[in-house]
Amino acid sequence: MSKNWLIAIAAIAITHVAPAQADPVDMAAAKKEGKVVWYTSTPIKTAQNVAKLFEDKTGIHVELFRSGGSAILRRFMQEHKSGLNAADVMTTSDPAASAKLAQDGVFVPFKPADFDKVPDVAKDPNGEYVAQRLNMMVIYVRRDKVAQADYPKTWTDVTNPKYKGKLVMTDPSFTALQLMVVSTLSRKLGWGYYEQLKKNDIMIVQGNQQVTDMVKSGERVIAVGALDSYAADARKQGHPIKTIYPADGTFIIPSPTAIIKGSPHPNAAKAFANFMVSEAAQKLFPAGGGYAARTDIDPPKDSPRLADVKPMPIDYAQIEKDAAGVKRKFNEIFQ
């Protein structure tokens, strides 16, 4: 599943793929099932808006289970291994794991009606999984507490000792997005990079929401490798937070949604997965500060167009292989 995201992401803004055959959804059966269980790491407010909109449109209840991307995956894997089929639809932020699970035949291939509006790089060609949104992993700072001249401009800038005690980031054991970042940066810059961050007394929290909380409260003033949508949301509330797109590349990571094989509500699951890439649902993501998966939806207010952001290349196949080792090494450094 190795793909070169550098090229792919660049192509997002300009390509338009020919329409493919969409898979049918039996709405009558879905409504009869009446319920769909959704495991997701989508930011909770957005997740709830998606769920509510779907309920309003179809009358099918969405049972939401929300946690961090890695935590969701862990929960799902444990349940799956023990033969418990609770989840109908799962959205994580770990494309590497999704690819692996697709290979293992855990998902039901399904092409939603708007399948072709999602760029190839953010979906499986057979519809094993389709991105729900795109996550921008950036650096953001408290405008009021960091002088403009002191804004870090690249990933390596934050190792500067002047940022000591000011930094915060997430734990890859909990947050899948961070696993992509740490795997990539540790390969690119070496583990010394993280040892330097450790020397800079960087704070480790579980999830991206916590990162924003720390920055909002002023506990820490610079978020490193953090999800931009939370910063955007905080900005909307009036918090003075500024997003920085590192000069050496922003991580643009899709959040794949997949239907679980053998799940309790298979038709409702299809209806929901179908709805996830519909225009109405997709518009909720920019509204919450994030980027939609579809190319025909505008970026969030005051955020740059995808084409204007320099993407960081990510090797998902390598990450899938390295995941356990990366987490362990990270833990060893930050203990």
Partner 1 sequence: MNSGGANVRRPALARPTARLEWLRFDQVVMAAAVICLVILVVLPLCSLFIGSIRTPDGLSFAFFREAASGRLYRQALINSLILGAWTGLFSVLIGVPLAWAISRTNVPAKPFIRVTATLSYLSPPFLTAIAFVNLFSPNAGVINHLMREEFGVTWLTFNIFSMKGLVLVTVLHTFPFVYLLAVTALQSVDASYEEAAEILGAGKWRTAFSITAPLVAPAILSGTLIAFVNSIALFGSQAIIGLPGRIFTLSTRIYSLFDYPPQYGLASALSLVFIFITVAALFIQRRFLARRSFVTFGGKGSRPQLIDLGSARWGLFGFAVLVFVVAILLPYASLIAVSLSKSWGLAFWKNLTLANYKFVLFDYDVTQRAIINSLILATLAATLSIALGTVIGWIDLRTSVPGRRLLDYAALIPLGLPGIVMAVALIQFWLAMPIALYGTLVILLLAYTGRYVPLGLRAANSSLRQIDPTLEESARILGASWGVTMREVTLPLIRPGLFAGWLLIFVPAIQELSASILLFSSKSITLAVAVYNLYETGYTEPVAALAIINVIIISLAILLANRLGGERERERLEYRPA
Q: Which residues bind partner 1 (CB under 8 A)?
A: 37, 39, 44, 48, 63-68, 70-71, 73-75, 77-79, 81-84, 86-87, 97, 171, 173-174, 203-214, 216-220, 237-239, 323-324, 327-328, 331-332, 334-335
Strands 89-91 and 203-205: unpaired
Helix (H, G, I), strand (E, B) or coil at 149: helix
105 vs 218, beta carbon nearer partner 1: 218
118 vs 205, beta carbon nearer partner 1: 205
**Minimal distance in Å, beta carbon 334 to partner 1?**
5
**Minimal distance in Å, beta carbon 216 to partner 1?**
5
Query: Which of 98, 95, 62, 93 minimizes the C-alpha distance to 77?
Result: 98
**Minimal distance in Å, beta carbon 44 to partner 1?**
7
41 vs 295, beta carbon nearer partner 1: 41
CB within 8 A of 332, min separation 6: which ones?
none
**Minimal distance in Å, beta carbon 67 to partner 1?**
6
**Minimal distance in Å, beta carbon 19 to partner 1?**
35
Half-sphere exposure (CA, 13 Å, Cβ side) for 301?
A: 6
117 vs 220, beta carbon nearer partner 1: 220
123 vs 220, beta carbon nearer partner 1: 220
CB within 8 A of 125, min separation 6: which ones?
none
Dihedrals phi, psi of 29, to nearest 5 degrees: -65, -40
**Minimal distance in Å, beta carbon 148 to partner 1?**
21
Strands (E) located in 143-266: 167-170, 203-205, 222-227, 241-244, 251-260
How many helical (H) and strand (E) elements, i.e. helices and strands, does the chain have? Answer: 13, 11
147 vs 324, beta carbon nearer partner 1: 324
